[in-house]
């Protein structure tokens, strides 16, 4: 089954759906999405969406907090767009029916999370993403020019005469097919599943970065992975997120003796930026040899259960009472700051290909994303990408945007693998990549670990060989193998960037280079195949 549309959107999260909403009344829009139509990171978002709508807030203040969290690497122009346009798009969501929690005077109730200087996080209890997804879905799915095909996994871009002409995709039970369009938007979300411990759902395997990179698009900032400090830690269980909003409402991190410990590691304590809290937790676990907990036992139990119903239910499912028990927590891979390089309208380095949301790298997050800025990014830059598609400006990214990144392409010395050896042809499964990444390219990194990871990932990359690039050979590749191909491609890009960046900054921490080094590294690492 080959499909055609004027506009092709890959994914169905906040970025994809807000882009589609911009195409209301335009030409045919085809949306392909890998799982069920509502499956993706957006539906799991808990804490909320940040926007400067409060009386004591301003875009300038939101900008300052975002730049501080980004640790010297944000693209200030992109951040200015995010914070200036954010309130307008959030109000639009409310006008479309988003039921955010309200203060007694009827204004949006605003929460605070780590590294925000004021309360600015709008939320719908602890299931904000589900509410936003519902509103956008109800807006987009009835549009007469929209067709949605679910369980359709994009696996490769079609690039003809240097332009993106669509994608090849694998539909459950129907084999490989082609979707062609004048303009394609990648909105495939994050890559948390590259790690064994993650808050992300199973669809978040970094496919967008993998297929864009394999087609020749520029990618950047991939060494910056955000590890959320507080995922519910139960042996052998997926890491369920315990929102930072819990700490915003007064929850404390304590060690096994019940002592608050974060001030030992950071003057901002429990609400320091996420990277610092995550490392604080890991260090406290190392220091004490014991688990670390979140406690809300000092708060009003009725309020805790009413404010956090989903998290309460998840804890109950694990045999714990959120308001009473100490909840075992630990860091888990949560968010990819890097991705496919775009300009302010979502254009990538390949004409006809745009990108928005977590898969994109607009530069708004720098080295570390400010809490609750991700939904906002998907909303604002999804809308802008949709507008750019509609305006039919048939251009790729402004070359100045790429030049500003000071590209560092691959060199022979970047290779750690032994191409051509027997081990070079070994197949790599997803679980091995995830374990390898967690162990060597996680919260704490060093040259030896990164070299070990890269040697294995280079071999796995070689084993993928031409199969994933050759349209004829592609037909034989299974869905499981495509998934492993994404994990290998993205894992290797993260590890390469982490190995190159010989300093510590934001989400990237090198034990062998523990200091931030602005003289050499106040620049972004970009890669083009």
Active-site amino acid positions: 274
Site string for ligand FAD, 239-278 (x = CB under 6 A): --x-------------------------------------
Q: By CB neighbour count within 10 A (0-12 exposed, 13-18 middle, 19+ buried), where does 403 fall?
A: exposed
Contact 275, 507 (CB under 8 A): yes
Neighbours of 290 (CB within 10 A): 11
User: Among 7, 30, 42, 273, which residue interacts with ligand FAD (rule: CB under 6 A)?
Assistant: 42
Strand 29-32 relative to strand 146-149: parallel, antiparallel, unpaired?
A: parallel
For the chain, the helix, strand and coil percentages under 3-state DSSP, each to the nearest 5: 35, 20, 45
496 binds, among ligand FAD, ligand SIN, none (CB under 5 to 8 A by kind): none
Q: By CB neighbour count within 10 A (0-12 exposed, 13-18 middle, 19+ buried), where does 393 fall?
A: exposed
User: Shortest approach of ligand FAD to residue 45 CB, angstroms?
Assistant: 3
Q: Per DSSP, what are the bridge partners of residue 198?
A: 333
Q: Per DSSP, what are the bridge partners of residue 411?
A: none
User: Shortest approach of ligand FAD to residue 371 CB, angstroms?
Assistant: 7
273 binds ligand SIN (CB under 6 A): no
User: Shortest approach of ligand SIN to residue 46 CB, angstroms?
Assistant: 4
Q: Per DSSP, what are the bridge partners of residue 339?
A: 220
User: Among 193, 200, 349, 401, which residue interacts with ligand FAD (rule: CB under 6 A)?
Assistant: 200
73 binds ligand FAD (CB under 6 A): no
187 binds ligand FAD (CB under 6 A): yes
Q: Give the residue carrying structure tokens 């990277």.
A: 275
Cα–Cα nearest to 360, from 99, 72, 368, 345: 345
Measured from each CB, the residue nearest to ligand SIN is 47
User: Shortest approach of ligand SIN to residue 372 CB, angstroms?
Assistant: 4
In degrees and rounded to multiples of 5, residue 306 shows phi and psi of -75, -40
Residue 36 structure tokens: 């069920």
Of 438-467, binders to ligand SIN (CB under 6 A) are none
Site string for ligand SIN, 210-249 (x = CB under 6 A): ---------------------------------xxx----
Query: Segment near ligand FAD (CB under 6 A), from 29-37, 338-346, 388-396, 463-471?
Result: 29-37
Site string for ligand SIN, 25-64 (x = CB under 6 A): ---------------------xx-----------------
Q: Per DSSP, what are the bridge partners of residue 154?
A: 169
108 binds ligand FAD (CB under 6 A): no
User: Among 3, 7, 13, 272, which residue interacts with ligand FAD (rule: CB under 6 A)?
Assistant: 13
352 binds ligand FAD (CB under 6 A): no
Cα–Cα nearest to 206, from 488, 514, 509, 444: 488
Distance CA 502, CA 447 (A): 9
Q: Per DSSP, what are the bridge partners of residue 491?
A: none
User: Among 371, 389, 397, 477, which residue interacts with ligand SIN (rule: CB under 6 A)?
Assistant: 371
* Residue whose CB is less far from ligand SIN, 149 or 268: 268
- Interaction site with ligand SIN (CB under 6 A): 46-47, 243-245, 371-372, 374
């Amino acid at each position: 089954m080959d499909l055609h549309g004027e506009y092709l959107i890959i994914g169905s999260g906040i970025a994809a759906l807000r882009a589609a909403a911009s195409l209301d009344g335009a030409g045919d829009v085809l949306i392909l999405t890998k799982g069920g139509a509502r499956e993706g990171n957006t539906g799991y978002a808990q804490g909320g969406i940040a926007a400067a709508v409060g009386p004591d807030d301003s875009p300038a203040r939101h900008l300052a907090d975002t730049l501080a969290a980004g640790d010297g690497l944000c693209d200030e122009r992109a951040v200015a767009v995010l914070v200036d346009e954010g309130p307008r798009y959030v109000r639009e969501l409310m006008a479309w029916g988003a039921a955010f929690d309200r203060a007694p005077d009827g204004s949006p109730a605003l929460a605070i999370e780590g590294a925000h200087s004021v309360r600015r996080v709008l939320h719908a209890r602890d299931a904000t993403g589900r509410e936003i997804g519902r509103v956008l879905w109800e807006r987009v799915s009835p549009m007469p020019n929209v067709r949605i095909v679910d369980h359709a996994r994009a696996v490769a871009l079609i690039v003809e005469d240097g332009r993106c002409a669509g994608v090849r995709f694998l539909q459950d039970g129907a084999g490989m097919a082609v979707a062609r369009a004048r303009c394609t938007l990648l909105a495939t979300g994050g890559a948390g599943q590259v790690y064994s411990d993650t808050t992300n759902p199973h669809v978040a395997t970094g496919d967008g970065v993998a297929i864009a990179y394999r087609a020749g698009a520029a990618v950047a900032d991939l060494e910056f992975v955000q590890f959320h400090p507080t995922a519910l830690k139960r042996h052998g269980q997926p890491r369920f997120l315990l929102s930072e909003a819990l700490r915003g409402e007064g929850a404390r991190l304590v060690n096994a003796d019940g002592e608050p410990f974060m001030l030992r590691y950071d003057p901002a304590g429990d609400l320091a930026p996420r990277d610092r809290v995550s490392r604080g937790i890991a260090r406290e676990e190392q220091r004490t040899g014991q688990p670390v907990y979140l406690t809300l036992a000092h708060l009003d139990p009725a309020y805790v259960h009413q404010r956090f119903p989903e998290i309460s239910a998840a804890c109950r499912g694990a045999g714990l009472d959120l308001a009473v028990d100490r909840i075992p927590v630990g860091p888990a891979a949560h968010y990819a700051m890097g991705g496919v390089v775009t300009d302010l309208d979502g254009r990538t380095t390949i004409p006809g290909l745009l990108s928005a949301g977590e898969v994109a790298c607009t530069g708004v997050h720098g080295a570390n994303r400010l809490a609750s800025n991700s939904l906002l990014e998907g909303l604002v830059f999804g809308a802008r990408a949709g507008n750019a598609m509609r305006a039919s400006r048939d251009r790729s990214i402004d070359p100045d945007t790429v030049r500003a990144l000071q590209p560092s392409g691959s060199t022979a010395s970047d290779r750690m693998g032994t191409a051509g050896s027997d081990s070079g042809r070994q197949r790599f499964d997803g679980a091995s990549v995830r374990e390898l990444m967690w162990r060597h390219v996680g919260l704490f990194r060093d040259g030896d670990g990164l070299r070990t990871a890269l040697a294995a990932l280079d071999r796995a990359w070689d084993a993928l060989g031409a199969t994933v690039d050759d349209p004829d050979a592609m037909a034989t590749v299974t869905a499981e193998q495509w998934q492993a191909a994404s994990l290998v491609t993205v894992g290797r890009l993260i590890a390469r960037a982490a190995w190159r960046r010989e300093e510590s900054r934001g989400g990237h921490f090198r034990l062998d280079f523990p200091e931030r080094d602005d003289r050499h590294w106040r620049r972004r690492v970009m890669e083009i195949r």
